[in-house]
Structure 1
Amino acid sequence: MTAVSKNPRIIVALDYPAAAPALDLVSGLDPSSCRLKVGKEMFTRLGPAFVEKLVGKGFDVFLDLKFHDIPNTVAAACEAAADLGVWMVNVHASGGRKMMIAARERLEPLSHRPLLIAVTVLTSLGEKDIAEVGFAGAPADNVIRLARLTADCGLDGVVCSPLEAVEVRPLVNRDFLLVTPGVRPASAAQDDQKRVMTPLDALQNGADMLVIGRPITASDDPQASLNRIQQEIAGFNGA
């Protein structure tokens, strides 16, 4: 597990269908005040060169592709992500122990080793949704089980809802990162996330880093919106 600075705590989700609006947004953001997340749509449309461009602008980039395949395939994909200079990459914990260990072991000898975290249960899924795909129990039961497995495999952390972070935090050490989507300032709409919480509440629940998209990216002044969220969490004194 790699020790990492938890500041800046906010990861801005660049969920755009094209490069121009994303780069316009990024040009108005300070790399010292946030990190960036590139997901499946942007990566599929714009490719590795776009990620390298963001890295070249000084941003820590979380490549959010949620790899889930046989162990060797996932390990190779994680190594390819590392070649882009990304700060963090993720896999699905439901891919299992062998897959996660293979990915970790592939990254360990690299001189530029990105953080490796695992997705537990998508924040868009409620209890009825996860039952439909064959998972027994409430979302929190599955998050806890998969977080324990991820920690046991030696990964750097998990993606989980801020509502479950309070239950996961006591089960893992402080260096094990809890990265939480489903975070919305109190004035923002929930959009398509079901298990959401305000930024300060999420940190107080045990989250380390907050993935925030539309409340920043859809704002008329994204840096000002980011600054307001930074001010909201400024009083947080957690580790």
Structure 2
Amino acid sequence: MEKPLMIALDFPDLDQVRQFLAQFEQTDQLTVKIGMELFYHYGPAVVTTIKQADCDIFLDLKLFDIPHTVEKAMEQLGALGVDYVTVHTLGGFQMLQAAKKGLSDGAKRAGLPKPHLLGVTELTSISEQVLKEQQNCRLDMNNQVVSLAKLAKDSGCDGVITSALELSDLVKSVGTDFEYVVPGIRMHQDAAGDQNRVATPKDARKDGASAIVVGRPITQSNDPEHTYQRYLKSWTLK
């Protein structure tokens, strides 16, 4: 899908993942997100298992360490055959460049396309107050996210993870030749949960999102495919 709706597979074990995916008629049309919970439990085997369903895979591990460590870790991830991986932009220019190199080297070694490298800006659970009082950031949220996105682009990342609330400023300041992947997506009737900066699929599309990530509203639904189609319609309908 050109502008995917990514489903966050926030499950504790693979049996639940298999049961969830079995409720979809065409899993080869899906893009799914594997996060820390599943990956730290199963390691690369979880990628192998989910690839059997022909899903595109977004591996969201938010690497954040010294440049050499991140480069070598990315070499391993680049060889897995996933489509997207994440790194934290707060690691700085050298770390982001190292991530790109490691990802490219790993994919080349495995004879695979290089995954898209996405920089995490500020988590959607971070409020303006937390940014100021706990992270001691001198910038407001919009300017902080724009600054980190510019850093990611200058370092060679393909895009960033960002709240929809910063999208308009990002598109103006960073450009349209960059990917903006937006979590914290909720329909008006769905609970926000622990997300502080949320938006609807329609709003995210209108403001320039390249992809959106939806988790619990779909995975905890009584009819996941129906809910997925509802979100997809809102995301793609012009």
Question: So what's the TM-score if we normalise by structure 2?
Answer: 0.92
The one-letter code sitting in structure 2 at the alignment partner of 1:170 is: K
Structure 2: stretches of 5+ with no match in the other structure: none
Q: Which residue does the alignment assign to 2:202?
A: 200
Count of residue pairs brought into register by the alignment: 231
Contact 2:75 2:104 survives alignment (8 Å): no
1:44 matched to 2:14: no
Is the 8 Å Cα contact of residues 162 and 180 (structure 2) preserved in structure 1? yes
SS of the residue corresponding to residue 117 of structure 2 reads strand
1:89 and 2:93 correspond: no
Query: Match of 1:169, as an amino acid?
Result: V
Tell me the equivalent position of 1:211.
213
Q: Percent identity?
A: 37
Write the mapping of 1:44-193 to structure 2, written as runs, cut at 5 A: 44-109=40-105, 110=108, 111-112=111-112, 113-131=114-132, 132-193=134-195
Name the residue aligned to 2:20: 25
Q: Name 1:11's counterpart in structure 2.
A: 6
User: How big is the shift at 1:138?
Assistant: 1.7
Q: Could you tell me the TM-score, scaled by structure 1's length?
A: 0.92
Structure 2 counterpart of 1:23, which letter?
A: R
CA offsets, 1:85-128, max 9 Å, x none?
A: 11110100000000001111223352421111100001100111
Please list every run of at least 4 consecutive aligned residues from structure 1 whose deviation after the TM superposition is greater than 6 angstroms: none
Question: For 2:79 and 2:52, how far apart are their aligned partners in 1?
Answer: 13
Distance (whole Å) between structure 2 residues aligned to residue 38 and residue 25 of structure 1: 14
Q: Distance in 2 between matches of 1:142 and 1:34?
A: 32
Q: Report the alpha carbon displacement of residue 165 of structure 1 after superposing the two structures with TM.
A: 1.0
> Contact 1:181/1:211 (CA < 8 Å) preserved in 2?
yes
Displacement, 1:81? 1.1
SS of equivalent to 2:152: helix
Aligned to 1:223: 225
1:163, CA displacement in angstroms?
0.6
Gaps of 5+ in 1: none
Per-residue deviation, residues 151-205 of structure 1 (Å, max 9, x unmatched): 1111100000011011101223433110000110121000000000000101111
Report the AA paired with residue 149 of structure 2. A
